Amino acid sequence: MDVTEQFPFIQLVNGEGKQLEENPSITVANAKRFYEQMMFSRMFDRKAVNLQRQGRIGTYAPFEGQEGAQIGSALALEDGDWMFPTYRDHAATAAFGHSLVNIFLYWKGCIEGCVPPEGKHIFPPSVPIASQILHATGTAWAEKKKGSDRVSLVYFGDGATSEGDFHEGLNFASVFQIPVVFFNQNNGYAISVPIERQMNTKTIAQKSLAYDMPGVRVDGNDVFAVYSETLKAVERARKGEGPTLIEAVTWRYGAHTTTDEPSKYRDQGESERRRQTDDPISRVEKYLKAEGSWDADWEEELKKKSEKRLQLAVEEMEKTKKSDEGLIFDHVFGTDVWPVQEQKERFFHKESGK
């Protein structure tokens, strides 16, 4: 038996907006909720790219095309749960309640960009590949030891599965049955390295077999399927039944970052073909039209509200003063410890030139 047969490609609504099977996650109410979040996320992403081109923020990592994977998974969490994003997961963090101003500030190089709103358990975006997998596993283990029912969800790309932290995190989570959902967004490339050059397995989901945990392979552009499968994994973890590995197969339309030139390593026509046939936002629009629930005026109003919301966030971001450089020393431990205090004093002594 081919091992991939154990991991069928899960899809509830296809690229034409046709519902393929009955599922409680497929409702008009959910479709509108998903559409609103995904549309806003795409507008945010394009706004951020434009800001970078104008020199108003630094290098930026676009996520256009991956909205279905991020929104479907983020909305499966409850308020008290933990989210561990990468630098490309702002659709997820915004949907989970992060401040838009702070997300923009992150790309402006301000420490405030790493601080979520009070009461929101969102870790700063992780840049070292796969390191957040260990953070998520450790945090979920702490919640388990405290006796809470909080769950960690951690995002990572296909390239992260080539890192040791991925395997250490999954192994530890399996051994101690930790309430964590490992959410892989497989967009086919680790920067410029195609997935077939990274691994010899046909799927990422099948890597779950080595750690004796459930593995799921889902259409990452089908927000209904992503939401349904993530909800199952979250509920399973919350009941004390351990971790799950989810592989959401998707595609990023644009560059790895705004300093990247993707035409050097992949066929640019592929992005346009996928945009025409497999776009996560268009899929929900087609579903709503098939259900007789599409409203063009509603969509236009959404766009107007989203643009206003984004403009206010940009204005607030640009009014924010330069961060106090000493803040990098103030959030390391709960109380001051002498080595950090000594480093802080040396830093300011050097900065003053004395």
- What does the pLDDT look like over 182-221, one tens digit per residue? 999 999 888 888 888 989 999 999 999 999 999 999 999 9
pLDDT band at 354 (very low <50, low <70, confident <90, very high): low
Global confidence as pTM: 0.93
The answer to whether residue 172 is domain-embedded is yes
Residue 18 φ then ψ, to 5°: -90, 130
CATH number of the domain residue 11 falls in: 3.40.50.970
The answer to whether residue 288 is domain-embedded is yes
The answer to whether residue 163 is domain-embedded is yes
Query: Is the confidence at residue 96, as pLDDT, over 90?
Result: yes
pLDDT band at 111 (very low <50, low <70, confident <90, very high): confident
Q: What is the mean pLDDT of the chain?
A: 94
The answer to whether residue 65 is domain-embedded is yes
> 3-class DSSP state for residue 162?
helix
Contact of 156 with 182, CB cutoff 8 Å: yes
Q: HSE-up of 93 (CA within 13 Å, CB side)?
A: 31
The answer to whether residue 337 is domain-embedded is no
The whole-number pLDDT of residue 350 equals 76
Burial category of 178 from C-beta neighbours within 10 Å (exposed 0-12, middle 13-18, buried 19 and up): buried
Which of 183, 213, 221, 207 is CA-nearest to residue 83?
183
Contact of 321 with 108, CB cutoff 8 Å: no
b/e string for 218-254 if b means 16 or more Cβ within 10 A?
Answer: bbbbbbbbbbbbbbbbbebbeeeebbbbbbbbbbbbb
Which residues touch 166 (CB under 8 Å, ≥6 apart)? 130, 133, 156, 160
Domain boundaries, position 201: 3-323
CA angle 307, 127, 206 (to 5 degrees): 100
**For the chain, what is the domain count?**
1
Q: Which residues are catalytic?
A: 252, 256, 265
Residue 63 φ then ψ, to 5°: -125, 10
The answer to whether residue 333 is domain-embedded is no
Instruction: State the average pLDDT over residues 133-160.
Output: 98
The answer to whether residue 49 is domain-embedded is yes
The answer to whether residue 129 is domain-embedded is yes
Bigger pLDDT: 114 vs 292: 292
What confidence tens digit (pLDDT) does each residue in 295-336 have? Answer: 999 999 999 999 999 999 999 999 998 877 787 787 778 788
CA angle 104, 110, 115 (to 5 degrees): 75
The whole-number pLDDT of residue 151 equals 99
